[in-house]
Amino acid sequence: MAVTGASGSIYARQLLNKLAALKKQIDQVAIVMTANARTVWETELDDRGFEHLPFPVFTQNDFHAPFASGSGRFNTMIICPCSMGTLGRIAGGISNDLITRAADVVLKERRKLICVLRDTPYNLIHIRNMQTVTEAGGIICPATPSFYSKPATIEAVAATVTDRVIDLAGLEQDTFRWGE
């Protein structure tokens, strides 16, 4: 999983907690977090929980990370939140750090890339980058909460997004389902 400096640290924290809770369904989780992501996390969440994550953390420039190559066989990459700059570099095929290199690997190997975009509104460049990544096989999942489950807290609102990401990753979870 990658965490960029886009606003939306609540999504990253929730997603990491959910992945830890679902660890029996997952072979391995690895994290890349940008310096800006750490700053935004601390600013938005008033904590430094990113210093105590239950998974291996790699630096942005560690191209020896196992998921920097297709032989690493990581099946899914989630970028949450995904900044528009990161999306643009992925769409342009620019692998200038570990996040964009891993995304490039996932796409070239025809594996699952899920980009959780938080920025709004979109300009035409953003929309075209979303189109390019989608056409390359990626999944664009804007961090757009739903309200039909009647979430009562900010955490419950954020969970409507992170639960959707968990579903997109193909993991089983107990969550609100429409019509149940």
Burial class (CB in 10 A: 0-12, 13-18, 19+), 10: buried
Report long-range pairs for 60-63 (Cβ below 8 Å, ≥24 apart): 60/32, 60/34, 60/35, 60/97, 60/98, 60/99, 61/97, 61/98, 62/32, 62/98, 63/98, 63/101
pLDDT tens sequence across 12-61: 999 999 999 999 999 999 999 999 999 999 999 999 999 999 999 999 99
CB 112 within 8 A of CB 76: yes
Where exactly are the structural domains of the chain?
Answer: 2-168
Residue whose token pair is 């191209």 = 63
Nearest C-alpha neighbor of 29 from the set 178, 164, 171: 171
Burial class (CB in 10 A: 0-12, 13-18, 19+), 46: exposed
pLDDT of residue 4: 97
For the domain bounded by 2-168, which CATH number is listed?
A: 3.40.50.1950
**Taking the C-alpha atoms of 45, 29, 84 and 96 in order, what is their torsion angle to the nearest 10 degrees?**
120
pLDDT tens sequence across 63-98: 999 999 988 889 999 999 999 999 999 999 999 999
pLDDT tens sequence across 101-142: 999 999 999 999 999 999 999 999 999 999 999 999 999 999
